[in-house]
Chain A
Amino acid sequence: MITEDLETYSDTVEEEHSVEACTKCTACNTVCPVARSTEIFRGPKFLGPESERYRDQHEATVTAGLDLCSGCKLCEVTCPSQVSIQEYIRRAQNKGAREKGRTLRDWLLGHTRLLSRFGSLTAPLANFGNSNPLFRLVMERVAGIHHKRPLPKYQWLTFERWFKRHHRENSPPAQGEGRVGARRTVAYFYGCWVDFNERKLGEQVVAVLERNGIEVIVPRQQCCGIPAVVNSNTDLARKYGVENVRRLSQLPEGVDIIASSTSCGLMLKHDYAHLLEIPGAEQVGSRVYDICEYLWMLHEASELDVDFQPVDTRVLYHAPCHLKSHGIGYPAMRLLHLIPGVRVEEVDEGCCGISGTYGVKVEKYDLSMKIGSRLFEAVKAAGSDSVLADCETCRMQVEHGAGSRSAHPIDILARAYGYR
């Protein structure tokens, strides 16, 4: 006999995201940028919910071709039933890698922070090697990194060390938890990219926040774990996540957490709690904001300084796939519209194709460029100064594929505040 208890059961959130909610409608396959670009990929529906019904944690992973999934999450964005398609694929990838072992290349790419720390310590040498064609050919043979893929430049002075100095030089003596006169305090989750490759972005984020009377603190942090997730190593990602959750949980109440990388932010907000099932992650996730999301919130509360200098520029905006997964719209576009002189147009051509470390790999480079080709063509045709994107690897890919300049939207904001 059916009881009303069942009704409560079927109305739980777990049900909403579960494999049972999949109606096999195939909407995910039609938007999948990988499935669109190669016929050897069977698409998210088959590799996610379809195969999941036949997966057993005690048996070998059945599905081949899992590693072609780039992790853009557009399948989840599109799913009318909110099935966590990606998470099934990720868990199966991890299990497959546990059974079969990982390549040295994937192990290294999963340990981005380690790799970047090494790159930063040896910056001049690492940058020379990364741009040396001969070395790149060797690297392709030995490590499976495609020789045509430009690799990010490492910087010797990390953001972490810069911030310590900045804090020493600029901070009045702290009283209690917050800085004197500060209306809000935020903890900046800068991520490996800002730390080792684009310190300037971190400096701009700090400048923009401080300009608005917000105290910025920088808690100790580990890699967010997304490079590990996409390299079939959710075990490692979980280890990183547990460490981050432990540290971020210790922040005083009322301190919001800001991320300037779309994907780091999404890990903290969502994947720690859902994909990695880290205890306490929901509480941390509910405090995390994308930097533009946060600034727009300030604006709506009339707390954002809108005394902008004109910035005379015409820019394109590319919305990263993972930004769509945040479910917050495009706050960067809204902010840019506030600045006099800025003419911004969205270039709506879908995934750029790089998907973090995916497009770096020798066997996936061509596919990654094919996925991004529509975007590259549109950027070239638009003939604009530069492309703005909230995600660092999207920026790398657009620069490489379309030959344009690129920046985080915060770059324009910082300029409008007169910060160089």
Chain B
Amino acid sequence: MKCDIAVVGSGLSALIATRTLQRAGRDPVLIWPGLSSLYFLYATVDVLGYPNPTTAEPVEEPVAGVRQLIAQNPDHPYARAGLAALQDGSSLFLEWLREAGFNWQGTLARNLLLPTATGTPKPSCLVPTSMVAGDLQRDEPIAFCGFDGYQDFIPELAASNLSRAWNGGHRTVTAARVSLPGVKPDQLFTSIDLARSFEDATFRREVASRLRHQVKDEGARLGMPAVLGLTHDTDVHAEFEKETGHPVFEIPTLPPSVLGLRLFDRLRRHIQETGVEMIWAAPAHDAEVANGRCLRIHLKSAGRETPVEARAFVLALEDAVDGAWRAGPHSVRDPFFHQLLAHHATPGERTDESLFQPQPFAGIGYPVSDRLQPSDKDGHPLASNVFVAGGGIAGYDPTGIKARGGMAIATGYRAAQEAMAA
């Protein structure tokens, strides 16, 4: 098939690139290889939480922090994308969220400090309104609330960790736990199941009533796992605050990420409803290059490959974890240009033994030009009309510096701009 610009990917950078193209009046096609990062991850937009992975002091002003990072590290994906791409991309993202019916808050000028499911303070920048009341820069006491049988959020653990970490232990943090109506003791359920249940008003009111009896401190904010609705979450959150009589904030949990699915489902639907075609279930590979330009890529459709011809391509791939690269015991190659992206004497070199250290595999990707074109090891673009966004860029590791959403937006936006100019 033929199209104007083809975007490959399923994460935030792919969605941003597609939206940027659509807003500019172009005709993108989104090639979707399967549900990945938004399903696994937080889905808040963290722009810069820490200046580097080893510093414990969080960044207060993310945009200033990114400016500094770019100045100090000209090869960083933020530097490649440029500060303007982060700023313009974020404005486009927030406007898109409003148009698609989301309720989000935050600015690039200031970080919020929000508790994680284990009670660790984490800097975040743009977040759903349902999380804002958790900001640890406010003083009100916090009561973490969990549910019997729900394994992915342990309120006692969150409370005990946060009471130590939050302002030197001078704040009140408690834990409460209630049973869920209609749930049998041995029943297995996920966050998604729970989120669907919370859309049922009877269920929700009963949980609210049980929580009211458990939480004695009338001035406390309630910290809940992010399960307050899947499709009507704005209403569910507002209603639940009324029903409990407390400010309520959501805390992202282990996969499946309710926050990520909300975002993915509605943004995807929104671009589809406004005219963008999406191709499901067709992993892309094999770029055909002639005279320095990519003519087409190939989709693994049922029965045979579908060639996709486009003026330009945005490869908004996810990172190494979800199979964007083809890894053998020694080498890691990309599926489009068959470049050797990394070579290791033993596979063990790809990982650090400590889970909390930067992982070498995370940085594997295409070296990119100043215009985000994938390049060979000598820095020559592999094709002038192909651009990389997100985890496909070498050195793209937002984990330690807490910059996941921001880097996806900046690179997605910039890659789309370049694709339009190609």
Contact = CB atoms under 8 A, between A and B. Distances in A.
Given A30-B261, A324-B281, A348-B273, A329 B326 contact: no
A77 interface: yes
Given A26-B256, A27-B39, A82-B283, A288 B329 contact: no
Contact of B302 (A7, A30, A326): A326
B303 A269 contact: yes
A77 B281 CA distance: 5
Contact of A329 (B196, B256, B277): B277
Interface residues of A, number: 45
Interface string A363-377: 000000000000000
B255 interface: yes
B359 interface: no
Contacts, number: 123
Given A324-B280, A327-B282, A329-B277, A8 B33 contact: no
B15 to A, nearest CB: 15
A25 B192 CA distance: 13
A270 B35 CA distance: 21
Contacts of B164: none
Contact of A80 (B2, B33, B304): B33
B34 A79 contact: yes
A82 B36 CA distance: 12
Nearest to A81: B323
Given A2-B346, A324-B281, A348 B196 contact: no
Contacts of A328: 1, 279, 282, 301-302, 306
A300 B3 CA distance: 10
Contact of B196 (A11, A36, A285, A346): A36
Max chain A CB contacts within 10 Å: which of B189, B261, B318, B328? B328
B329 A10 contact: yes
Given A4-B330, A7-B331, A25-B40, A30 B300 contact: no
B119 to A, nearest CB: 24
Given A26-B256, A30-B190, A78-B35, A285 B279 contact: no
A286 B303 CA distance: 5
A296 interface: yes
A76 interface: yes
A210 to B, nearest CB: 24
Nearest to A77: B281
A31 B32 CA distance: 15
Interface in A62-118: 76-82
Secondary structure type dominating chain A contacts? helix
Interface in A326-343: 326-330, 333-334
Contacts of A296: 1
Interface residues of B, number: 47
Interface in B1-18: 1-2, 10
A286 B255 contact: no
A285 B302 CA distance: 8
B103 interface: no
Interface string A238-264: 000000000000000000000000000
Given A327-B306, A348-B269, A6 B328 contact: yes
Contact of A333 (B277, B301, B331): B277
A36 B189 CA distance: 11
Given A27-B39, A348-B269, A325 B302 contact: yes
Interface in A15-44: 21, 25-27, 29-31, 36, 39
Given A7-B329, A78-B34, A79-B34, A327 B323 contact: no
B34 A269 contact: no
A27 B35 contact: yes
B187 interface: yes
A236 interface: no
B272 interface: yes
Contacts of A329: 1, 29, 277-280
Interface string A265-286: 0101110000000000000011
Interface in B21-64: 29, 33-36, 39-40
Nearest to B347: A2
B321 to A, nearest CB: 8
B301 A334 contact: no
B281 A325 contact: yes
Max chain A CB contacts within 10 Å: which of B40, B190, B327, B329? B329
Contacts of B1: 296-297, 300, 328-329
B303 A80 contact: no
A36 B327 CA distance: 35
A81 B304 contact: no
A80 B36 contact: yes
B206 interface: no
15 contacts: A2-B346, A21-B323, A26-B255, A30-B190, A31-B35, A39-B187, A78-B34, A79-B34, A269-B304, A300-B2, A325-B281, A327-B300, A329-B277, A330-B277, A334-B277
Given A30-B190, A300-B1, A328-B302, 20 more contacts: A2-B346, A2-B347, A7-B330, A8-B328, A10-B328, A11-B328, A26-B190, A27-B34, A29-B190, A30-B192, A39-B187, A78-B34, A80-B36, A81-B322, A82-B283, A82-B323, A300-B2, A328-B282, A329-B278, A346-B273
Interface of A: 2, 4, 6-8, 10-11, 21, 25-27, 29-31, 36, 39, 76-82, 266, 268-270, 285-286, 288, 296-297, 300, 324-330, 333-334, 345-346, 348
Return the 7 tightest CB-CB contacts between A and B, nearest first.
A7-B328, A269-B303, A327-B282, A327-B301, A80-B34, A285-B303, A270-B302
